[in-house]
Structure 1
Amino acid sequence: MNALLEPGMVVRHPGMPGWGLGQVQSNIGGRVTVNFEHAGKVVIDSKQITLERVFGH
């Protein structure tokens, strides 16, 4: 799933609901950089965490 994420897509971190919605900034080599509403910019290792895509936010 994370391999399909592209810049501009909106996601949620399943283990950190308090971070709010995040916008994908980049997806390079299994590392997804996301700018979350309440946590700022976070780099996610897609081998460890599967982000949930949010539609119609």
Structure 2
Amino acid sequence: MTKSSTCPMCGAPTQEATRPFCSRRCADIDLGRWFSGQYRVPGPPADEENAEKPEINDER
């Protein structure tokens, strides 16, 4: 007996093609939440003063 997985967004049964989600729509909603910053991984605050500056190559 296997346990059926459910979509973490809406609770519907998952589909193999979009696992662990039930549809591409739920997968896109989840991705949008990551991009907007609704999901965060906890950690120490970033030290912006000592952050590395991107190198600019002005050689022409």
Verify same fold: TM over 0.5.
no
Q: Which has the higher contact order (CA 8 A, sep 6+)?
A: 1
Higher helix fraction (1 or 2): 2
Larger Rg: 2
TM-score using structure 1 length: 0.20
TM-score using structure 2 length: 0.20
